[in-house]
Homo-oligomer: A and B are copies of this chain.
Amino acid sequence: MANKLRIAVLGASGYTGADLVRLALGHPRIEIAALAAGARAGASMAEVWPHFGHYPLPSIIAADAVDWSGIDYVFGCLPHGASAALLSGIAGPRIIDLSADFRLRSAETYADWYGLPHPAPALLGHAVYGLTEYARPALPAARLVACPGCYPTAALLTLLPVARLIDVSRVTINALSGISGAGRAAKEANLFAELGESAAAYSVGRHRHMPEIEQELALAAGIPATVSFTPHLVPMARGELLTIVVEGAAAPELRAALHQRYAHEPFVHLLPEGLAPSTRMVRGSNHCVLNVFADRVPGRTILIAAIDNLVKGSSGQAIQNMNLMAGLPEPTGLEQVALFP
């Protein structure tokens, strides 16, 4: 067998890090060489994640204790700010960052939305925006890949093929997310008893994924884009559903564009006409399912997309990117069928 690719995961104590490890354990060409997480350094993975108890995994160490010389790929599953600060100091491994730090192409926009100066502005020009289906040409040579946010992944997979057909100044996105999207931090707001049997919007009118969606949509459209975006938390652990109202084109036209673009994609699927995408169709898998619905209001069309926020929305896409960076077949290690029920 060919040599394995040695990876390090930074932020292995969070949900994104854990799902990356889950996928890496099933990947035939990955060797998990190092796992880091500042707050849990010294613990075994079994202590932090009991479901990994029966796998041989390195213990958790501090990020600055990683020996980078033997690492081929480093996956950054850290909070924004911390991610760029840490990753910018690493030489050697190719970097796949799952944080927000290298997604925005402008350091000023970053500072506006994230409330801090960009920690490594010199790197911004070198980062490849890793929406895999659109980044393929750039990935083989990429040294630094910025994986899209979970919401932008679903939004852009849906909107990019129709960017020149719709009015990109009038896009309204409503998003539902499972609670894992809020992270593993011990906060009262994320307790089971607080969130069970409840639904609510959050970050209304100011969620940080808006400029990211607009940036990429504008690039595809060739003109500025404006998106209203309202995310909600609903009582499920995983899954993300976007309902997007667009104007300026009719459903058949948009359907045809999506069909043409995705007919041969391994992970993005236009559903049969009339079938509503559901997060249960993609749970635990790297798939994205899409559909197009005519609104009865003339001139408006409704696009719906579902992904698993932790897989295609995060760790799965990161591995999909690594596969292309490494010259592996794109679906390697990502063949998991959705877990339903």
Using CB atoms and an 8 Å cutoff, list the residues of chain A in contact with chain B.
Answer: 15, 18, 22, 25-26, 46, 49-55, 172, 174, 176, 178-180, 182, 184-188, 190-202, 204-206, 210, 226-228, 230, 232, 234-239, 241, 243, 245, 269, 271-272, 275-284, 287, 289, 293-297, 300, 302, 304, 306, 310, 335-341
Q: Beyond A176-B176, A179-B193, A184-B188, is A201–B304 a contact (Cβ under 8 Å)?
A: yes
Given contacts A15-B341, A198-B279, 13 further A-B contacts (CB under 8 A): A172-B245, A176-B199, A178-B193, A184-B188, A186-B186, A196-B235, A197-B239, A201-B276, A204-B293, A205-B294, A228-B295, A232-B243, A339-B339
Closest to A204 in B: B293
Copies of this chain per assembly: 4
Question: Within 8 Å CB of A174, what residues of B?
Answer: 174, 230, 243
- In the complex, are the beta carbons of A239 and B337 less than 8 A apart? no
Question: Within 8 Å CB of A178, what residues of B?
Answer: 193, 197
Q: Give the contacting residue for A241; candidates B200, B271, B283; CB below 8 A.
A: B200
> Which 5 A-B pairs give the minimum distances between C-beta atoms?
A200-B278, A198-B280, A174-B174, A193-B341, A234-B234
CB distance from A275 to the nearest CB of B (A): 6
- In the complex, are the beta carbons of B204 and A276 less than 8 A apart? yes
- In the complex, are the beta carbons of B238 and A197 less than 8 A apart? yes
CB distance from A212 to the nearest CB of B (A): 14
Question: Within 8 Å CB of A196, what residues of B?
Answer: 179, 192, 196-197, 235-237, 341
Question: Within 8 Å CB of A227, what residues of B?
Answer: 297
Q: Beyond A53-B269, A180-B193, is A22–B235 a contact (Cβ under 8 Å)?
A: no
